[in-house]
Structure 1
Amino acid sequence: MQRIIRDTKAFRLRTPVISLSAVLIRRTIFRSLLLVVFLVGLFLGPGMAAELPHLRVGALAKGSVRWEMTILKKLGLDTKYQFVLDVVPYAGKSATEVALQGGAVDVIVDDWFWVARQRSQGVLLTAFPYSQTVGGVVVPKDSPIQDLPDLQGKKIGLAGGPLDKSWLILRAVYLQRYGSDLQDLTETVSVAPPLASVQLERGELDAIVQFWHFIARLLAKGKTRQLVSVDALMRELGLSETVPLLVYVFPEKLVRQNRQLVQNFIHAVYEAKQYLLDHDEAWKEIADLVRAPDEKTLILIREAWRKGVPRRWDAETFANLERLFHIMRRIGGKRLIGTEQIPEGTFLKEISF
């Protein structure tokens, strides 16, 4: 190989003559630059030294998702896990669904049946557990209704409508126990959750199928009682454990392109959940969001929420979800599910706890 430098003796750098004053000036400038860099880094802080990715969560303006997100922000967990949380409030569930599908937000909370239905229609979404607390059946405290057969001939308010999962699970249990569809034996009306509670208290309804936090508010007043919870109904259907019905929903594209961001978000929200599990005082910080009129109501809502925090997400969970899917499909039909099997990818299984 040809040598580029044949004579090393001839290849010599001439060292320029620099005065002492010039050396001192250069040292002063260098030290000044170091000081500027240090001060800029101190001012910006570690979280702002680099641009962090933003993650937009679409949440109901008066919903429980905002409770967790508020605690997450207060604890600085988004910064800890290297993202910036942006909460975008919406008035209703359908608005969050449209926002997610339109790319206005990155995450919402919905039920996983909706995710399965969307995937069956080619909309690639995927789910990770949010809560396994859904609701139950509530009756007036002095009501003669003591068990499910007593609901026959009664007027029942459905806070979530005729395809609400709590109502479908109740129908499935009744069918399994007695061989009849409760829908054929009762008068049902779809009522908005707040109005359902009011009408039950007024005696305009004999029973309501209500969401969990509205149930807590009713029970705090002492004028009603819970006939049965959806948790108990699911166990009666043969599930070995209570499974999550509500889930965080992500576009599959986001998971593929930025799995680390999604994983960091999940770590952050579950750390926020743990904080709400361990610290009673944290609930006083979000009391305004919870909108509890008194401490008794706040405690009941707190304990109901804690009961619903998912504890596992593994093969047994997926097997129970599969069982529930087929039970619900028999009751709700194609209108509810839209597919005969849970589409592959409905659940984000790669991340577990």
Structure 2
Amino acid sequence: MSEIERRGDAHGPGTALAPGQSDALPEKFENPGLPAHRHRMGDTDPKAAKRAERQVATMLVLSMIGSVLIIVAYVGIQYDGSFERISLSTKAIGLAMFLSLFCLGIGAVHWAKTLMPDDERIDYRHRQRGTEAERAEAVAILKEGADEAGLGRRPLIRNTLIGAFALFPIPAVFFFRDTGPLPGNKLSTTLWEEGMHLVKDPEGGRIRAADVSLGSIVHVLPEAIGELEEIEEAGSTVLNEKAKAAVVLIRLQEDRITQKSADWGVDGIVAYSKICTHMGCPVALYEQQTHHLLCPCHQSTFDLTQDCKVIFGPAKRPLPQLPIVVDDEGYLMAERGFDEAVGPSFWERG
């Protein structure tokens, strides 16, 4: 086999190099260099730079106006219960929010494209921590970049940028504030108290311990809910109390319950708050084989065989357990109320 044929085999079957062609790699590639720099109008024409500065400032001012219009639409368009009013408010807020976000983004992009330096530079790789001289040089480069951004030399852009960023988050204050009053320590108290019977939700009716089958899940409420619903003046109070007092009732195999569940339960029947300790969603999914309770909102998973300890998801606290007993007729009732606050863990707790 000739030398040319042997070299051809190195490139693949049936491939041969032309006479005089070498497959040896060059020792060094030539530096192709940087392309010729193309100057922008703002780099060479002061009037163009000033015009671009005014355009950026205009975009930022429009963003400020959009932020103000969000608040105006939110406060000025009051709900009257009609779909048309809700639709008008939603569209007005959406359009104002679009104006605020779009103009803020366009202003930032236009600023970067027309006024910030666009020189091509080469940065060579080096050790993660440089020498003191290199670190000092990096600080100098950052300062140089800040100077080149023109915030000091372009007060119009600087001031309108500050105004746009200052006004932009203010509408969020209105949105979050309108989600309702903070619960304070109200989550520490529910309708559950000593001797309160458990009733099915929503059909009602007391629950006998003997009727709770192995592996089943029953959604229950305190019997006092029925009395509260009869009070016409209660209004939203009924819904608030239902939300706090919702409980799931489950019967486990006796060999899967903990000492606490044995002390606080009845013959393997345990009761836990239905309200997820992450964001307050209803924990209503039960995996019978794994004995896990799941929250459908953010997938927090609670293990019933470990006193509803969190084993997956964003929740940080086990579901509060309701201690239960049976009366003389075999009906389940609360031994006392919850020993800890129900619901999300990020609220202040008494």
TM-score scaled by length of structure 1: 0.21
Q: Which has the higher contact order (CA 8 A, sep 6+)?
A: 1
TM-score scaled by length of structure 2: 0.21
Higher strand share: 1
Higher-Rg structure is: 2
